[in-house]
């Protein structure tokens, strides 16, 4: 069973859109005079697979509470929620259970002994999306990775609903123009920037909601599944290439590999830092996209 088939079999709650069981969303990168530039996204349909039987899905009070709170909290691009609003959303998310989005640890996808054929690929589904925020779920089979990527101008809440995953997260040490933040350049002339490690540990559900901000909280992060996982993400605002919030990917290089005394003596523990180099989109970033068929929100 592939990752997308396993996710789509989740009690009939996640059903494919249109004729295909899923689509692989591909984001291309190219290198031009200005360095790395991003190309438009495109979707490639996968082979047709049988759909699960539709059934009536009950509403979720907790999911509806989250939706209504997001409408109040997220004011649009260029804004960051206040601390009281962050606390409000965290309180709701901390109380959410897998059943609030139609999931259960008994579903076949979350069987830790299940075998996923081929390279494990992440599946995502969108519960709701507008200009100000989006609610989505990521399904990661064992060993699947969402590679190191950023969230430009975004505040993101992540709630691990099921499973265990390793999270590594960074923030930039300083602005790009600061000399202490710039390392050597790669062969394409892209500078490697110094970043501070904010998280590097395993999280297991149930656990507290994590929050990242436009310039803090681990804005650049990577997820790696230890067991099959489901993560509920709230992004405000969502990615938008047209509005300058396109996703960039990075590889991290140990600080010692390029260090030249650029961190003060008070911060000389090299394990707390790394050099980040922007790269073309990794193969692991290509995801299956399926339609959300769990409890719905009411506008």
Kindly state the tokens that stand for 221: 């992060």
Instruction: Name the pLDDT band for 244 (thresholds 50, 70, 90).
Output: confident
> Facing residues of 140 across strands?
229
Span 241-251, mean pLDDT?
A: 92
Do residues 289 and 23 lie in contact, with contact meaning Cβ atoms separated by under 8 Å?
yes
Cα 288 versus chain centre, distance: 14
pLDDT, one tens digit per residue, over 112-122 is 777 666 778 99
pLDDT tens per residue across span 135-170: 999 999 999 999 999 999 999 999 999 999 999 999
Q: Of residues 254 and 123, which shows the higher confidence score?
A: 123
Closest CA to 43 of 291, 249, 286: 286
Lowest-confidence region among 21-25, 29-33, 71-75: 29-33
**Which one has a higher pLDDT value, 21 or 154?**
154
207 or 25, higher pLDDT: 207
Is pLDDT above 60 for 12?
no
Q: Where are the beta strands (DSSP E) in 34-163?
A: 35-45, 123-129, 134-140, 145-149, 155-162
pLDDT of residue 55: 38
At 195 the pLDDT is: 95
Give the pLDDT score at 111: 86
Cβ atoms within 10 Å, residue 21: 24
Neighbours of 230 (CB within 10 A): 26
68: three-class secondary structure by DSSP? helix
Q: What is the mean pLDDT of the chain?
A: 79
SS3 284: helix
- Residue 245 is classified by DSSP as B
* pLDDT surpassing 60 at residue 188: no
**DSSP one-letter code for 87:** H
Q: What tokens appear for 207 in the block? A: 């656990």
Which of 33-47, 77-91, 265-279 is modeled with the greatest confidence?
77-91
- What are the tokens at 109? 């996808």
Q: Which of 2-11, 43-52, 216-225 has the highest mean pLDDT?
A: 216-225
**Which residues face 208 on adjacent strands?**
none
Determine the pLDDT at residue 276. Answer: 95
CA distance 171 to 250: 12
The number of residues making up the chain comes to 299
pTM of the full predicted structure?
0.79
Token look-up 């300083």 returns 174
Give the H/E segment covering residue 257.
helix 255-258
Q: Whole-angstrom Cα distance, residue 36 to residue 179?
A: 21
Among 225, 215, 211, smallest CA distance to 164 is for 225
**50 φ, ψ to 5°?**
-65, 140
Average pLDDT value for residue range 51-65 = 63
More confident residue, 33 or 180: 180
């Amino acid at each position: 069973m592939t990752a997308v088939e396993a996710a789509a079999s989740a009690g009939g709650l996640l059903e494919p859109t249109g004729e295909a069981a899923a689509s692989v969303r591909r984001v291309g990168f190219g290198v031009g005079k200005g360095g790395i530039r991003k190309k438009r996204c495109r979707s490639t349909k996968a082979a047709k697979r049988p759909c699960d039987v539709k059934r009536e899905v009950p509403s979720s009070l907790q999911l509806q509470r989250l939706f209504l709170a997001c409408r109040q909290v997220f004011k649009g691009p260029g804004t960051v929620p206040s601390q009281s609003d962050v606390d409000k959303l965290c309180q709701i998310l901390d109380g959410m259970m897998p059943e609030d989005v139609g999931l259960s640890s008994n579903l076949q996808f979350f069987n830790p002994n299940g075998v996923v054929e081929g390279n494990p690929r992440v599946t995502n589904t969108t519960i709701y999306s507008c200009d100000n925020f989006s609610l989505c779920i990521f399904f990661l089979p064992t060993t699947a990775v969402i590679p190191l990527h950023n969230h430009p101008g975004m505040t993101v809440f992540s709630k691990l609903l099921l499973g265990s995953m390793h999270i590594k997260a960074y923030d930039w040490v300083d602005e790009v123009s600061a000399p202490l933040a710039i390392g050597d350049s790669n062969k394409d002339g892209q500078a490697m920037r110094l970043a501070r490690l904010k998280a590097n540990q395993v999280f297991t559900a149930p656990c507290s909601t994590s929050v990242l901000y436009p310039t803090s909280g681990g804005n650049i992060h990577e997820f790696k599944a230890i067991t099959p996982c489901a993560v509920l993400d709230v992004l405000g605002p969502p990615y938008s290439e047209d509005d300058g919030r396109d996703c960039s990917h990075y590889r991290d290089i140990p600080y010692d590999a390029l260090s030249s005394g650029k961190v003060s003596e008070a911060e000389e523990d090299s394990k707390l830092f790394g050099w980040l180099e922007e790269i073309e989109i990794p193969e692991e970033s290509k995801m299956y996209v399926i339609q959300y068929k769990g409890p719905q929100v009411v506008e």
